[in-house]
């Protein structure tokens, strides 16, 4: 049976630790003068993105290249989808071409799991609608473990996830993973941008960013993902920014060890000001950097190369 990574719930605690350990190995590879290993030589990895992306797609493609895999890139605009080809036929064509693994992003929640049920090769979910984005959560956890030196856990770390949680797959994957690792999470935003029923979520809720500043070790900001909803949920972006934008004045009310995170793309002036994004407390660039190592770990792990094969490979 092939494995896929569609949701954080696909991973046991031991597997999360294994992936974090592998990420460290690949971070060392990435620090070398020639950051490339032959681990996936002969394998073909395809990226199938039905939604726009900058960092996630480039990060996966760079990860595959650094593992010496061949990379097939599907681009929606120039594909036969515009001629009416179905999702199933598109995915099966990529499998028939010889892809050993597909990395997929789609605007519909559940689309990646559905494609996974049709194919015999592993899939990695690079974001499906407002459902999940598991590699983002893994790279965020990896970045925080490093920052706070908490080993393979996040025990006692207070994380505020701020903004448009309702439409955020990043928040859904992060809440699951961070809470399993021991972090305490508070969702912060206006009621219209938070899920209606949070009774099963392992979180606290606040409608005031100002109230959570002093008690948070991590301020994790989210973009308002207006492409995922039709009518306007906030009266105006400047109204939202007045209460929920992280600016320097607000950051000064947090502890000096508090860090700022954002999955990107950042909309400077809305959820975060440029000054905060570029401040020494911001981990945004670190997140992107760690993303490559984490995705190398995921690809290597899913393509069946057991950890025992690490040594002889390099």
- Chain residues binding ligand NCD by CB under 6 A are 55-56, 127, 133, 136, 169-170, 223, 225, 263-264
Q: Output 106 or 153, the one with its CB closest to ligand NCD.
A: 106
CA distance 193 to 180: 24
Q: Output 37 or 104, the one with its CB closest to ligand NCD.
A: 104
Q: Output 126 or 259, the one with its CB closest to ligand NCD.
A: 126
The sheet that has 158-162: what strands, in order across it? 203-206, 184-188, 158-162, 218-221, 259-261
Q: Output 37 or 189, the one with its CB closest to ligand NCD.
A: 189
- Kindly tell me the burial class for residue 311, based on how many C-beta atoms sit within 10 Å of its own C-beta (0-12, 13-18, 19 or more): exposed
Q: Output 17 or 108, the one with its CB closest to ligand NCD.
A: 108
CA angle in degrees (0–180, nearest 5) for 120-54-268: 140
Distance of closest approach, residue 168 Cβ to ligand NCD, in angstroms: 7
Q: Are 161 and 171 in contact (CB under 8 A)?
A: yes
Distance of closest approach, residue 271 Cβ to ligand NCD, in angstroms: 9
- Name the residue among 44, 90, 102 with its Cα closest to residue 69: 44
Q: What is the CA radius of gyration of the chain?
A: 19
- Name the residue among 110, 117, 109, 95 with its Cα closest to residue 48: 95
Distance of closest approach, residue 307 Cβ to ligand NCD, in angstroms: 27
Distance of closest approach, residue 274 Cβ to ligand NCD, in angstroms: 17
Question: What CA dihedral angle connects 227, 194, 158 and 298, to 10 degrees?
Answer: -40
CA angle in degrees (0–180, nearest 5) for 198-142-160: 35
Q: Output 17 or 225, the one with its CB closest to ligand NCD.
A: 225
Q: Output 204 or 228, the one with its CB closest to ligand NCD.
A: 228
Distance of closest approach, residue 136 Cβ to ligand NCD, in angstroms: 5
Q: Output 43 or 172, the one with its CB closest to ligand NCD.
A: 172
- For 48, the 3-state DSSP assignment is strand
User: Can you count the helices (H) and strands (E) in the chain?
Assistant: 12, 9
Q: Are 27 and 290 in contact (CB under 8 A)?
A: yes
Helix spans in the chain (H): 13-30, 55-66, 87-96, 111-118, 134-148, 169-180, 209-212, 237-244, 248-251, 274-277, 284-302, 310-313
């Amino acid at each position: 049976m092939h494995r896929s990574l569609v949701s954080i719930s696909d991973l046991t605690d031991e597997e999360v630790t294994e992936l974090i350990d592998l990420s460290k190995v690949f971070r060392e590879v990435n620090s070398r003068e020639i950051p490339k290993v032959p681990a996936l030589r002969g394998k073909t990895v395809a990226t199938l993105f039905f939604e726009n992306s900058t960092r996630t797609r480039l990060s996966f493609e760079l990860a595959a290249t650094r593992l010496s895999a061949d990379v097939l890139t599907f681009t929606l605009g120039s594909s036969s989808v515009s001629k009416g080809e179905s999702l199933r036929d598109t995915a099966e064509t990529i499998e028939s071409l010889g892809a050993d693994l597909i990395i997929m992003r789609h605007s519909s929640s559940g689309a990646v799991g559905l494609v996974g049920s049709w194919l015999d090769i592993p899939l990695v979910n690079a974001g499906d609608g407002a459902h999940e984005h598991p590699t983002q959560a893994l790279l965020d956890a990896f970045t925080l473990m490093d920052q706070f030196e908490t080993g393979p856990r996040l025990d006692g770390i207070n994380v505020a996830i701020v903004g448009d949680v309702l439409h955020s797959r990043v928040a859904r994957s992060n809440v699951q993973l961070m809470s399993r690792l021991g972090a305490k999470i508070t969702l912060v935003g206006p009621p219209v941008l938070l899920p209606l029923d949070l009774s099963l979520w392992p979180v606290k809720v606040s409608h005031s960013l100002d109230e959570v500043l002093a008690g948070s070790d991590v301020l994790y900001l989210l973009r308002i993902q207006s492409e995922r909803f039709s009518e306007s949920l906030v009266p105006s972006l400047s109204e939202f920014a007045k209460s929920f934008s992280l600016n320097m004045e607000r950051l000064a009310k947090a502890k000096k060890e508090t860090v700022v995170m954002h999955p990107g793309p950042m909309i400077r002036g809305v959820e975060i000001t440029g000054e905060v994004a570029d401040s020494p407390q911001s981990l945004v660039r670190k997140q992107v950097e760690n993303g490559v190592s984490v995705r190398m770990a995921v690809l290597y792990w899913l393509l069946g190369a057991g950890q025992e094969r690490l040594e002889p490979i390099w």
